[in-house]
Homo-oligomer: A and B are copies of this chain.
Amino acid sequence: MAELMKGMKRTGRLTDFSQDNIGEQVTVMGWVRKRRDLGGVIFIDLKDISGILQIVFKKELNEELFEKAETLRNEYVIAVKGLIIKRDEETINPNLTTGYIEVVASELRILSEAKTPPIDMEENSKTNELMRLKYRYLDLRRQTMQDILLLRHRIYKITRNFFDENGFYEIETPMLTKSTPEGARDYLVPSRVNQGTFYALPQSPQIFKQLLMLSGFDRYMQVVRCFRDEDLRANRQPEFTQIDLEMSFVDVDDVIEVNERYLKKLFKDTKNIDIALPIKRMTYKEAMERFGSDKPDTRFGIEIVDLSSAVKDCGFQVFTGAIKNGGSVRAINAKGCGKIFSRRDIDSLGDYTKLFGSKGMAWIQVEQDNLKSAITKFLSEEEIKTILDLMDAAPGDLICFIADADEKVFNILGTLRLEIARRTNLLDGNEEMNLLWVTEFPLLEYDEEQKRFSAKHHPFTSPMDEDLSLIDTDPGKVRAKAYDIVLNGEELGGGSIRIYDQEVQRKMFSLLGFTDEDAQERFGFLIDALKYGTPPHGGLAYGLDRLVMSLAGTDNIRDVIAFPKIQNASCPLSSAPSIVDKKQLDDLGIELKKD
């Protein structure tokens, strides 16, 4: 039976004490993390959220107490009264704040015993992740996990304080709501009171935050849970957290300005990193042309070069064919890789590009006085020289070519560029934090299959003022007031200025192929709302989990969530989702489908 804490009061957390407290009587509580018996002396590493404090039991001082201390096992929860003394010189641990002191115990209560943990509790636990998630409450006792969740707590705080100080109001939006038009699948919640109808859990509070602007709230922010019923890829969770913002009477620069100050503050206060402002901006077009990605990792070069005009008349059918079909020939220079990569390595790179739809990768290996390549025979000396010049080629380099439709070329070379960086460990030890705004996204994407446009961002995204007239004449060319913030090749967040003009909104819906009825059915209450005086407004949403990952330096999303789900959207700890009583389903007027 556990002993009662009755009458005992903790003096403080374990690392509240230091050399300054030597000679003081204290009461401390925590988990036994380690016990060492050295003859007549027992040392305990006592652990709480703050860290470790050393407790000493000495047989010569109190034999009964000593014997009780001998029964202590790892993870027992104990309360100890004792005297803080200075450690012997040779046992000082300068790495701990409490490393100079220890508590000589005069009283011990075993508040809770513990079975042997079924998982390895060391910082670098050897237990597989599934087991650790099943015993998450033990896994979370590791300092590394606690540090991440404490960092997450600080991120909430810095975020909320910053936006409060900048005139944003935190307002809660509904969780039981109607489908939002984000494309992904909704989680549905059957209604019992109105049988046959369903709520949807929000994919984002998009419509509600726009309504709040229409309501005059001027600046809104919320740290908010969102839901997407997707087939989980790695680093996706069915429920995730957004830092969601919206502002009235603003244009692109206003949203960017306040968010830059936020990011500067966040990086400074969490990692002591100074972000230089303004953060670099790059248009979508430039990002695609140089890096083959709308979230380019700008920590390294290997940029894409357009060789189309250099090879447009060459003898290599693959190149000229692509150009004739309206595509292009582009290449990257994998600096030094000509020396490092074997022929087999290069072939494997070519195979890799095929995963992303390439029909083949041409290449030139540049040697001191020689070029190795299967394509040089189709090129004139002049053409080769131009290519080498344009690619800034030097001996040891490897030039990789893709010829295809532009979009494909960008995508393939953009991916290849990252793969080469990975294979050459180019970023090992790189601690840069390269923030980048990508701007001027296309408003629309043309869906070849459905033969119609779809919204690149969402249907409420505003065209750029300069491109307004193109809506009627060449909608595919219209650029949007949309922007993403990218960190080291990962999208931290994105947003846009919204349409506040009913006429433009109507055109947008018509471009997207919505009839008035469709639009009314799907977004009716927002469309109605636009009629009663709408301020220009726009916003942004950060993926909080991703942001914490970046700042915590982990690439596992489950490390930054206290109780995460695994790939099949289940929770190994609670076993959710689970079977429910038939009566519960009856109440809801639903039943399982028989096949």
Contacts and interface: CB of A to CB of B under 8 A. Distances in A.
B535 A592 contact: no
A225 interface: yes
A160 interface: yes
Interface string A3-29: 011100110010000000000000001
A453 B194 CA distance: 34
Contacts of A580: 179, 188, 197-198, 200
Contact of A140 (B113, B153, B216): B216
A66 B197 CA distance: 52
A312 to B, nearest CB: 40
A527 to B, nearest CB: 12
A312 B114 CA distance: 56
Contacts of A193: 231, 568-570
Interface residues of A, number: 130
A571 interface: yes
A319 interface: no
Contact of A216 (B141, B563, B586): B141
A218 B188 contact: no
B593 A593 contact: no
A1 interface: yes
A113 B178 CA distance: 28
A189 B201 contact: yes
B577 A197 contact: yes
Contacts of A568: 193-194
Nearest to A568: B193
A533 interface: yes
Contact of A576 (B178, B529, B535, B593): B178
Interface in A164-207: 164, 167, 169-179, 185-201, 207
A2 B501 contact: yes
Interface in A442-490: 465
A262 interface: no
Contacts of A189: 187-189, 201, 577
A378 interface: no
Nearest to A544: B172
Contacts of A535: 29, 31, 77, 111-112
B157 A578 contact: no
A282 interface: no
Count chain B CB atoms within 10 A of each CB in A5, A577, A584 and give the residue with the most.
A577
A582 to B, nearest CB: 11
A263 interface: no
Contact of A212 (B241, B525, B562): B562
Interface string A556-583: 0000011101001111011111111000
Given A185-B587, A200-B576, A577-B194, A239 B174 contact: yes
Count chain B CB atoms within 10 A of each CB in A75, A146, A561, A592 and give the residue with the most.
A592
A562 B59 CA distance: 65
A217 interface: yes
Contacts of A178: 571, 574-578
Contact of A593 (B225, B584, B591): B591
A227 B201 CA distance: 12
B562 A172 contact: yes
Nearest to A570: B194
A199 B577 CA distance: 4
A198 B136 CA distance: 21
Interface in A124-149: 135-138, 140-141, 146, 149
Contact of A239 (B176, B192, B200): B176
A115 interface: yes
Given A75-B533, A111-B500, A579 B196 contact: yes
Contacts of A186: 584
Contact of A157 (B164, B179, B216, B534): B164
Contact of A197 (B214, B563, B578): B578
A217 B589 contact: no
Given A113-B533, A188-B190, A199-B577, 10 more contacts: A13-B218, A174-B563, A174-B571, A176-B571, A185-B587, A193-B231, A196-B592, A198-B579, A207-B574, A208-B562
The 9 A-B pairs with the shortest beta carbon distances in the complex, nearest first, are A114-B533, A140-B215, A75-B533, A197-B577, A191-B577, A2-B501, A49-B218, A178-B576, A153-B169
20 contacts: A1-B503, A79-B249, A115-B531, A137-B212, A137-B532, A149-B169, A150-B169, A156-B170, A172-B562, A174-B576, A177-B574, A178-B576, A194-B577, A195-B592, A197-B579, A198-B578, A198-B580, A211-B563, A589-B593, A590-B593
